[in-house]
Amino acid sequence: MSQAELQCQAPGQFSLAGELSFESVPGLLDAGEQLFLAGGEVRLDLSQLERSDSAGLALLVNWLRQARDRQCRLSFQQVPEQLLRLARVSGADQLLLSR
């Protein structure tokens, strides 16, 4: 199993790679703090995600909440179809796409 990794590509631009799962998400909760340090607009590229379960979706929704609380704008780039299908089940797909 591949762990998930959050990397800064440039100021305000990050990428998330690997698997978002019940095992990997706890380690990313604190790592997500770096997303909002500079404030403003944050773009998160999801094209390198291999798969996600409901814990991964919950993490992304949590990051959206954190962004709102810090008056930042978080947008997800290249959301994998597997993650969108998972989000549609709970009606969260618009949260991933509308940012």
12-30 residue pLDDT tens: 999 999 999 999 999 898 7
Banded model confidence at residue 1, pLDDT cuts 50, 70, 90: very low
Distance between CA atoms of residues 6 and 60, nearest Å = 12
Distance between CA atoms of residues 11 and 64, nearest Å = 18
Banded model confidence at residue 98, pLDDT cuts 50, 70, 90: low
The full set of domains in the chain, from first to last, is 5-97 (3.30.750.24)
Tokens 């549609």 map to which residue? 88
pLDDT greater at residue 10 or residue 31: 10
Per the structure block, which two tokens stand in for 27? 């380690």
32-75 residue pLDDT tens: 888 888 888 999 999 999 999 999 999 999 999 999 999 999 99
Looking at the predicted structure, is the pLDDT value of residue 7 above 70? Answer: yes
Predicted structure pTM score: 0.89
Distance between CA atoms of residues 75 and 13, nearest Å = 10
Contact by Cβ (8 Å): 35, 51: no
